[in-house]
Structure 1
Amino acid sequence: MKTLIALIGFLSLTACTGGLKTQRLQVQHFDKQGHRGCRGLMPENTIPAMLHAIDLGVTTLETDAVITQDQQVLLSHEPFFNHEITTKPDGSLVTEAEEKNLNLYRMNYAEIKTYDVGQRPHPRFPKQQRMAVHKPLLADMIDAVETYCRNNQKPLPQYNIETKSQPATDDQYHPQPAAFVELVVGVIKTKNITERVIIQSFDPRTLQYLHEKYPSIKTALLVEDNDPKPFALQLRDLGFIPAIYSPAHTLVTPLLVKQCRDAAVGLVPWTVNDAVRIKELKQMGVTGVITDYPNLFKGL
């Protein structure tokens, strides 16, 4: 296990960080990440959203993964049908009271495809284009993006895939971490895109399993805006140094930028929907930004 003496020094945590393994991220450009494709402009986590994000010049497609009853990896932010965006097969609207009973982990993909997630106007994203569209499988999204890029002479993107899990809902809304990771890795290996994949999570268990079993796959630690733990303690608790540290953008400070740079960790905050703030963060030295509006990257 590689000991990071320089990192231990600047973190001032010699006793608890010695021996951490690290992933090195080779930052060659400012990483323009489209959140759920381009949620502000197109229905989130759908193939049209991903293709439009490609047209807007993103370098990374950020998305979310859940698992279906028939063990398929599905793009969805929630492990159920969100009432804000979902229309039932009979044309009626999913209500907030019933959404969590529409558990994707208890539904086969053939049934999931019959629900629409693009025709309802989004209450928080008025610019989002409305269309008939369903939640796609990760494999189908990758196929569509790779084909689109090759046919249109576009650079092939990275994929930043979040494992949507937490201990409280194991075996209720998703499988245990090891099974979850194996299903996701199975897709990315089949599609031969491993070198262009980042797996991110707020759940350290999936990242820890991934790092031990598949250390060559890049990982990103997501951090909530109300998380009080500093950078050093986050890494200590994770048990290794990920390729990317991905906090809420309100947590970014000059000190955090320096800590990430010194640790050779990419710093990619979320979710930044203001052009001025994106430029400010870039000037501070973050290595990328996640936004619902990839059109804001124009001119960067």
Structure 2
Amino acid sequence: MVEVHGHRGARGLRPENTLPGFAHALELGVDAIELDVGMSADGTVVLNHDQTLSPVNLTDTAPAWPGDPAFPYVGKRIRDLTAAQLRTLDAGSRRHEAFTQIPVPGAAIPTLAETCALLAPTGVTLAVELKTDPGWPVEAVERLTAAVTAVLTSAGVTGRSRILAFDWRVLTEAARSHPEFPRVALVERKTLAPTTRWLAGLPADDPVSAAAKIGADFLSPEHVLTTPELVDQAHSHNLKVAAWTVNTPEEATRLIDYGTDALVTDYPDRLQHLRKPA
């Protein structure tokens, strides 16, 4: 049966990329938890979807120290703030009309190490998306990739962690320096534009062949890009397919009929009946 992956934990139900959100996803019995990581100014790998702190899911509380000139922090880049500054933010509420999640006031931005401590004993797969973009220098891509894999290795979850990225330079660096981690090539309509810079210099007209060329293990397309032909082509290249973001049973059924291997969802409770048996 298809794997069910909790998107940012279970972001339709609980605050995204938070420990309470992951705990709820675990209660729902997901096969994998997808999460997003960046790096603070002082080198700590932390969880957050956007490179710039967004008022959609974060709220300032107080400065990390009296008179901090960087406060307020919302609206600033993760890489420009220290872990101590990021820890002051409340990540427990999402002001977004598309979701009906239950807030968890006071939930903090967790570090990747804290997340691993929660997930390591469970056996769930960690699908870790590295949030870079083509404007990053390659040295910064290498530094984040090395930092993420170091945390995962230290936590003892190497064998059940996957490295995800839209910026395929992350995947080429992971294949070169950290080949023990399976790699997931993310694609969406934006990153497949003819002049794309997202695919590590490869053309976008055949993303399946491109993903196979860089040594990916999975192709993870936006659900609207997922067709029977794409799934069949991916399987012919020994690539599994994980489609995102799939939030209705009807859409899930369609993609399963195509032969999709995994579905990434904001609402794991809606797809529980599809879980891969233990």
Place the TM-score, normalised by the shorter chain, in its bin.
0.7 to 0.9
Alpha-carbon deviations, 1:244-290, whole Å to 9, x = none?
A: 00000011111111111111111001111111101221121000010
Is 2:76 the counterpart of 1:102? yes
| Correspondence for 2:3 among 24, 31, 54 | 31
How far did residue 101 of structure 1 move? 4.3
Paired residue type of 2:151: V
1:194 aligns with: 158
- Residue aligning to 1:263: 237
- How many residues are paired up? 256
Q: CA RMSD in A?
A: 2.2
Instruction: Map 1:35-184 to 2 at 5 A.
Output: 35-90=7-62, 101-147=75-121, 149=122, 156-170=123-137, 176-184=140-148
Report the residue type matching 1:200 in the other structure.
Answer: L
Q: Which runs of 5+ in 1 are unaligned?
A: 1-28, 92-97, 150-155
Q: CA deviation at 1:119?
A: 3.4
Give the Cα separation in 1 of the matches to 2:3 and 2:51: 28
Aligned equivalents of 1:87, 1:165: Cα separation in 2 = 23
Instruction: Tell me the TM-score normalised to structure 2 length.
Output: 0.85
Runs of 4+ in 1 over 6 A off after TM superposition: none
Distance 2:48 2:56 in 1: 13
- Measured after TM superposition, the shift of residue 234 of structure 1 is 5.2
Q: Give, as a single letter, the amino acid of the residue that structure 1 aligns with 2:130.
A: T
Question: Offset of 1:194 from its aligned partner?
Answer: 0.7
Aligned equivalents of 1:248, 1:237: Cα separation in 2? 15
CA displacement at 1:169 relative to structure 2 = 4.2
Q: How does 1:165-244 map to 2 (within 5 A)?
A: 165-170=132-137, 176-226=140-190, 227=192, 232-233=206-207, 235-236=209-210, 239-244=213-218
In our comparison, the structure showing a higher alpha carbon Rg is: 1
Distance 1:33 1:236 in 2: 24
Contact preservation (8 Å) 2:120, 2:155: no
Is the 1:188–1:194 Cα contact (8 Å) retained in structure 2?
yes
**Contact kept in structure 2, 1:268 and 1:288, CA below 8 Å:** yes
CA deviations on 1:174-201 (whole Å, 9 max, x unpaired) are x611111100011011011111011010
Match of 1:286 in 2: 260
Return the offset for 1:231. Answer: 6.9
Q: Deviations over 1:98-128 (max 9, x none)?
A: 8774221111111111110113543321234
The percentage of aligned residue pairs carrying the same residue is 27
Structure 1, 177-186 or 82-91: larger mean CA deviation:
82-91
Structure 2 letter corresponding to 1:190: S
> Following the alignment from structure 1 to structure 2, what is the Cα–Cα distance between the partners of residues 159 and 259?
26
The alignment partner of 2:135 has SS state of: helix
- List runs of 5+ in structure 2 lacking aligned partners: 64-71, 194-202
Equivalent position SS for 1:83: coil
> 2: CA distance between counterparts of 1:120 and 1:217?
32
With structure 1 as the length reference, what TM-score do the two structures score? 0.79
1:262 & 1:234 partners in 2: Cα distance? 10
Q: Matches of 2:214 and 2:58 in 1, distance apart?
A: 39
Shift of 1:214: 1.7
Deviation at 1:129? 3.1
Map of 1:94 onto structure 2: none
Distance 1:46 1:200 in 2: 18
Q: d(CA) in 1 for partners of 2:181 and 2:93? A: 36
Q: What does residue 200 of structure 2 align with?
A: none
